[in-house]
Amino acid sequence: MNFAPLPSVDAAEVPSDGFVLDVRENDEWAAGHVEGALHIPMSDFVGRFGELTEAAGDGRRVHVMCRVGGRSAQVTQYLVQQGIDAVNVDGGMQAWDGAGRPMVADNGAPAFVL
């Protein structure tokens, strides 16, 4: 079988108004995440898929993010198979933080990547 390479972008290339889907677990999300991102943990993803299709219903690109890029790659592959314009964010939240991109935490404390 011939699989097309997974579409991906560097964290620094995600537009500031880009649509970000964070597939990390709740504790990771609470520690630090992209403001305005949609949070659907990978473990809940199939059951909550409708939330994503509703949020991305306008056809905009979905930037899929996890901690380092493994879980988000699996979700990106699934979304592409569903015909959704999705890209994996290379290096995930670690790369996002490393690129100096803004993050927020749930409790108002300084955000960090768990």
List the catalytic residue out of 34, 37, 40, 66. 66
Catalytic (active site) residue 11: no
- C-alpha span between 4 and 56 (Å, rounded): 23
Vertex 106, ends 66 and 62: CA angle to 5°? 35
- C-alpha span between 72 and 51 (Å, rounded): 17
Catalytic residues: 66
